Amino acid sequence: MEKTLILIKPDAVQRELVGTVISRFERKGFTIAGLKMIHMDGNLAKEHYSHLVEKSFYPGLEEFMTHQPIVAMVIEGKDAVEVVRKMVGKTNAREADPGTIRGDYSLSVSKNTIHASDSKETAEKEVKRFFKPEEIFSYKKSSYYYSEDEL
Ligand code: DAT
Ligand code: MG
């Protein structure tokens, strides 16, 4: 089943939204395949945000992401990458639709609560970037999440 990477950002950890954010994915029916608190360092930030290192806001982004702990998660489910991105909402949380995680819990472009992989290719790389194989768990849940023809 498809996997995607979630980071619960420092603003959400500081605002005690970790449980709330995890709960959104659990309630939807996704499986938590990996979960841990980490401290992102500068090298990891530069790798993770390599598409943004040249931007003027990058130093502030790195500072924000590396100075407080974050929670990293691997979420698993059918079409997980696309469904999770929809649940997360637009980058600028002020433009994110109500009902999305950013739309419900943030007002900021940078302190926008959550990261989620943006494509299947990115998700594969990002899961490997943050989780060792032995930190990812495979287990069965009840059969009420999908019909047979969806599996
Ligand atoms: P997303 O997180 O929606 O995938 P992205 O990959 O373009 O968006 O950017 C990664 C993060 O960088 C984003 O969550 C917050 C920060 N960021 C993006 N654009 C920004 C901007 N114009 N000013 C400040 N921070 C920004
Ligand atoms: Mg992105």
Q: Which residue has the tokens 């029916």?
A: 29
Taking CA atoms only, the protein residue closest to ligand 1 atom 7 is 91
Closest residue (by CA) to atom 16 of ligand 1?
A: 110
* pLDDT surpasses 90 at 29: yes
pLDDT of residue 26: 97
pLDDT confidence of residue 142: 86
Q: Name the CATH superfamily, with its identifier, for domain 2-136.
A: Nucleoside diphosphate kinase-like domain (3.30.70.141)
Q: Is the pLDDT of residue 80 over 90?
A: yes
Distance set, CA 5 to CA 54, 122, 126 (Å): 23, 9, 6
Q: Which residue from 50, 52, 97 has its CB within 8 A of the most atoms of ligand 1, so it is best to mutate?
A: 52
Ligand nearest to the CA of 106: 1
Q: How far apart are CA 151 and CA 137, in angstroms?
A: 19
* Whether 67 is catalytic: no
Q: Is the confidence at residue 151, as pLDDT, over 90?
A: no
Query: Is the pTM here over 0.75, yes or no?
Result: yes
Predicted local distance difference test score (pLDDT) of residue 143: 86
Residue-wise pLDDT tens digits, 101-148? 999 999 999 999 999 999 999 999 999 999 999 999 999 988 899 998
Pocket of ligand 1 (CB under 6 A): 52, 57, 61, 91, 109-110, 112, 115, 118
Instruction: Give the DSSP letter string of the chain.
Output: --EEEEEE-HHHHHTT-HHHHHHHHHHHT-EEEEEEEE---HHHHHHHTTTTTTSTTHHHHHHHHHSS-EEEEEEESTTHHHHHHHHH--SSTTTSPBTBHHHHH---SSS-SEEE-SSHHHHHHHHHHH--GGG-------TTSS-GGG-
